[in-house]
Structure 1
Amino acid sequence: MTLSFEAQVADWAQSVEGALEVVFRESVQELVEQMDLLLVQTVYDAPPAPSGYKRTGFLRASLVASQTAMPLLTRDNPGVPVPADLGDVMLVISGSDLGETIYLGYTANYAGYVHYSANGEAGRPWVTMAGQRWPMIVDQVAARVRARLGL
């Protein structure tokens, strides 16, 4: 019987000590990078909204990772440019163990409006789009890890 690619990856990862943890962490990191890229493409690179809303980068900078609970949409935009820094998010991912849940969420109080739509503006569902890529991300990361290990 021929195994599916997914089954082959699972068998391989379980047989190589530490491979599951590496694939897990690198896959979540890649998911974060995909979310960030899609946010830039769908929001920050798009033409400005007719409302004239000033883009500060705060939505992008409000991404938080947690091992305990989903981050809440509670932070107001400070109205000044805010640089994006995924360092803290990557630290949480790096410190996570296989099987733990990693919650990724934006804390800008208007993130849901941007994602789903509001006030006549079209939604930009970058989180949903990145989430749909999860199986592909895991497959690609597993292939990269296998190639790095010479397997």
Structure 2
Amino acid sequence: MAESNLSFAAQVSEWVQAEKEREASVLRTAAQMVANNVRRSVAEGGRIPVDTGNLKNSLMASTSTMPRVDEGERQYPDQSGEIELIISNLDIGETLYLGFQTAYGPRMNYGFVGQDSLGRVYNQQGFGFVDAEAQTWPQTVKEAEAKVRGRFGAGPSPRTS
């Protein structure tokens, strides 16, 4: 941007556009970090228990509605590519919904003591993987901002002289 023949208004406009791009990049980077972190297994230092990988694979992203928990049990393929695509198109002001679709997802996150609708009895302690990730959102945004600034640089502000 540093051409001295640009008017101050043009410099400000260029700077504002660059800041908007950085802001969107911070949002997308932070959102992707959340999607990755919430699926990090206990063995990898995360909080989600992984046996078959089905719970982890059932994470879905949407910008229109919260993904619903499926009734019944089925196998989920890894949806990382779809999640990345949705996040890469996320705009400032849009809401990103991330949700696990497995019927047992809420039980694994929150825990459950009692009999389920199929008559099975559980005394399941929750792992809190969703809640733990939600609580770290401010730190995740700061980390994403540092990553973005490292990629784009801080960028000069318009000169006032």
Which whole-Å CA distance do the structure 2 matches of 1:69 and 1:100 have between them?
A: 11
**RMSD, matched Cα:** 2.3
- Pairwise CA distance, 1:89: 0.8
1:64 aligned counterpart, secondary structure: strand
Aligned AA for 1:138? V
Which structure is larger by alpha-carbon Rg, 1 or 2? 2
- Contact 1:38–1:130 (Cα < 8 Å) also in 2: no
- Pairwise CA distance, 1:56: 2.4
Matched pairs, number: 128
1:68 aligned counterpart, secondary structure: coil
TM-score (structure 1 length as normaliser): 0.75
- Pairwise CA distance, 1:83: 5.0
Out of 64, 68, 93, which is 2:87 matched to? 93
Matched, 1:125 2:128: yes
Matched, 1:84 2:87: no
Aligned-pair identity in percent equals 30
Which whole-Å CA distance do the structure 1 matches of 2:16 and 2:99 have between them?
A: 28
Matched, 1:31 2:34: yes
Structure 1 gap ranges (5+): 1-11, 45-54
Which whole-Å CA distance do the structure 1 matches of 2:80 and 2:27 have between them?
A: 18
**Which position in structure 2 is the counterpart of 1:112?**
106
Moved more, 20-29 or 113-122: 113-122
Out of 8, 15, 19, which is 1:16 matched to? 19
- Contact 1:39–1:126 (Cα < 8 Å) also in 2: no
1:37 aligned counterpart, secondary structure: coil
1:147 aligned counterpart, secondary structure: helix
Which whole-Å CA distance do the structure 2 matches of 1:61 and 1:19 have between them?
A: 30
Aligned AA for 2:21? G
Larger strand fraction of residues:
2
- Structure 1's consecutive aligned runs of 4 or more residues displaced over 2 angstroms after TM superposition are 12-17, 38-42, 75-78, 82-85
- Contact 2:68–2:99 (Cα < 8 Å) also in 1: yes
2:124 aligned counterpart, secondary structure: coil
